[in-house]
């Protein structure tokens, strides 16, 4: 009886040892593959950029008391409520760097008031509807206005009620969004909500000509997302967020960029925020007189990046960023760039995901092979050991 039980145990143990080699190899490969599989998160495509335009293209003020006088060269400008002697401030910013059609999430016009009346006043910002020039503009009709005092939307764009001297902010998000979708940008007119007061109420602002307090000049902060996206196919028939195959090429495309002789630089940052490579001097595909398409197949150059074996590049969420040619060179890390987009004329930022196997880094490959060999060695050693025990 004991001999039969020993023989039965021996047969079971022998069958366990006879696990097919191909089955064991398949299990090992699957385990190693699952361990090496990257965690995938969805990128959200375009990233918002906040640019601070610290110098107005033009600013001045209009004074009803001297309706034929130009104040474009003054270092201050005023908003005043006074019967027959009202004053209105006008200001305009050049937004041509921002691609037309960009999505605007916020825009704030800020004027620094060096003096305010003792009585709190309410000030309204209105979008100007007629082109004007700083050196010739005045209150009087025909300079260049159809209506004396300026041509502007009756509807108020933004209102503020300052109580003390300092920065006065106006939310002009809707106006800037309109400017970037084709509405003519002639800037804003600031006026007292209740003009023609019996008592004179005056607020004084610094202009761009202010030479001493240069940080207190008019400014405009715009947060926007450019129409700038990544594609797998050269014809850009559809956007792509995830790239996992080695040697795949990422094609970039954006619309609404400056026309003429302007060119652009494209930078690629990997998931560690390290600058991997740049494409410089990229031109546009455009019809003369229109804003162009950056990265269109008809462009003089192609902003592209092909994933190759690169031990310094890290999989994960990457950035493809755009700047005007001639701007300060992209910094080596993305943190520096995103912290000060003004310093690098940043106007486009797209994110996309790169899988681990799109960048077959040499150390990772060697480690995977080593783990596989170790697993196979342990299996082979256990198999030989069990066979020896059975024979014993």
CATH number at residue 269: 2.60.40.1930
Q: Same structural domain for residues 159 and 240?
A: no
Res 360: pLDDT: 75
Range of the domain at 188: 51-224
Q: What are phi and psi of 31, to 5 degrees?
A: -65, -45
Please tell me which residue, 25 or 112, carries the higher pLDDT value: 112
Domain boundary among 164, 189, 224: 224
Determine, yes or no, domain membership for 34.
Answer: no
Q: Per-residue pLDDT for 54 more than 60?
A: yes
Q: What are phi and psi of 83, to 5 degrees?
A: -55, 115
Query: What confidence tier does 22 reach under pLDDT thresholds 50, 70, 90?
Result: low
Q: Per-residue pLDDT for 30 more than 80?
A: no
pLDDT (tens digit per residue) in 258-272: 987 889 999 999 999
Q: Same structural domain for residues 187 and 244?
A: no
Mean pLDDT, range 368-381, rounded to an integer:
64
d(CA 374, CA 192): 80
Q: Which residues contact 118 (CB under 8 A, 6 or more apart)?
A: none
Report DSSP letters for 6-31, one per residue. Answer: HHHHHHHHHHHHT--HHHHHHHHHHH
Determine, yes or no, domain membership for 71.
Answer: yes
Q: Per-residue pLDDT for 6 more than 50?
A: no
- Contact (CB, 8 A) for 98 and 70: no
Determine, yes or no, domain membership for 174.
Answer: yes
**Closest C-alpha to 109, from 218, 23, 16:** 218
Q: Same structural domain for residues 124 and 238?
A: no
Q: Same structural domain for residues 283 and 194?
A: no
For the chain, how many structural domains are there in total? 2
Q: Kindly report the CA angle at 177 between 303 and 78, in degrees rounded to 5?
A: 125
Q: Per-residue pLDDT for 283 more than 50?
A: yes
Determine, yes or no, domain membership for 36.
Answer: no
Determine, yes or no, domain membership for 363.
Answer: no
Determine, yes or no, domain membership for 20.
Answer: no
Domain boundary among 177, 198, 224: 224
What is the domain-level CATH number for residue 109?
2.60.120
Determine, yes or no, domain membership for 22.
Answer: no
Q: Same structural domain for residues 246 and 174?
A: no
When mean pLDDT is compared across 228-237, 241-250, 302-311, 343-352, the lowest value belongs to 302-311
d(CA 236, CA 252): 8
Q: Same structural domain for residues 212 and 348?
A: no
Determine, yes or no, domain membership for 31.
Answer: no
Query: What confidence tier does 29 reach under pLDDT thresholds 50, 70, 90?
Result: low
Query: What confidence tier does 379 reach under pLDDT thresholds 50, 70, 90?
Result: low
* Structure token digits, residue 302: 């192609």
Report the 10 Å Cβ neighbour count for 240: 16
Q: Same structural domain for residues 203 and 244?
A: no
Q: Same structural domain for residues 215 and 302?
A: no
When mean pLDDT is compared across 156-170, 207-221, 341-355, 374-388, the lowest value belongs to 374-388
Domain boundary among 202, 224, 246: 224
Instruction: Give the DSSP H or E segment for 87.
Output: strand 87-92
- Contact (CB, 8 A) for 89 and 190: yes
Q: Same structural domain for residues 108 and 215?
A: yes
Q: Same structural domain for residues 186 and 246?
A: no
Q: Same structural domain for residues 89 and 137?
A: yes
pLDDT (tens digit per residue) in 88-144: 999 999 999 999 999 999 999 999 999 999 999 999 999 999 999 999 999 999 999
Mean pLDDT, range 9-36, rounded to an integer:
50
Average pLDDT value for the chain: 86
Q: Same structural domain for residues 62 and 208?
A: yes
């Amino acid at each position: 009886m004991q001999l039969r039980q020993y023989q039965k145990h021996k047969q079971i143990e022998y069958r366990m040892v006879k696990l097919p080699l191909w089955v064991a190899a398949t299990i090992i490969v699957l385990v190693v593959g699952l361990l090496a599989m990257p965690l995938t998160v969805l990128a959200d495509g375009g990233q918002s950029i906040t640019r601070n335009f610290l110098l107005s293209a033009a600013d001045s003020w209009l004074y009803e008391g001297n309706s034929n006088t130009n104040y474009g060269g003054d270092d201050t400008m005023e908003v005043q409520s006074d019967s027959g002697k009202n004053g209105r401030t006008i200001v305009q910013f050049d937004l041509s760097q921002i691609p037309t059609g960009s999505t605007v999430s916020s825009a704030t016009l800020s004027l620094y008031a060096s003096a305010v009346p003792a009585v709190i006043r309410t000030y309204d910002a209105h979008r100007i509807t007629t082109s004007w020039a700083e050196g010739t503009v005045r209150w009087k009709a025909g300079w260049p206005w159809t209506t004396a005092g300026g041509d502007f939307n009756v509807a108020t764009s933004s209102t503020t009620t300052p109580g003390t001297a300092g920065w006065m902010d106006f939310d002009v998000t809707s106006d800037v969004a309109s400017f970037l979708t084709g509405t003519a940008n002639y800037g804003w007119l600031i006026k007292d909500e209740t003009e023609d007061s019996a008592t004179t109420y005056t607020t004084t602002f610094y202009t761009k000509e202010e030479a001493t307090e240069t940080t207190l000049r008019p400014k405009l902060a715009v947060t926007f997302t450019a129409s700038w996206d990544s594609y797998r196919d050269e014809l850009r028939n559809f956007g792509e967020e995830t790239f996992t195959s080695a040697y795949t090429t990422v094609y970039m495309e954006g619309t609404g960029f400056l026309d003429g002789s302007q060119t652009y630089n494209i930078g690629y940052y990997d998931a560690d925020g390290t600058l991997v490579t740049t494409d410089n001097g990229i031109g546009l595909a455009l019809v003369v007189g229109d804003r162009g398409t950056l990265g269109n197949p008809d462009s003089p150059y192609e902003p592209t990046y092909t994933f190759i074996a690169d031990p310094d590049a890290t999989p994960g969420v990457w950035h493809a960023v755009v700047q005007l040619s001639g701007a300060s060179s992209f910094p080596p890390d993305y943190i520096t760039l995103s912290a000060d987009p003004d310093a690098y004329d940043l106007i486009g930022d797209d994110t996309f995901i790169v899988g681990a196997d799109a960048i077959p880094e040499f150390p990772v490959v060697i480690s995977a092979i080593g783990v596989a060999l170790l697993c196979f060695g342990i299996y082979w050693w256990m198999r030989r050991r069990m066979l020896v025990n059975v024979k014993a």
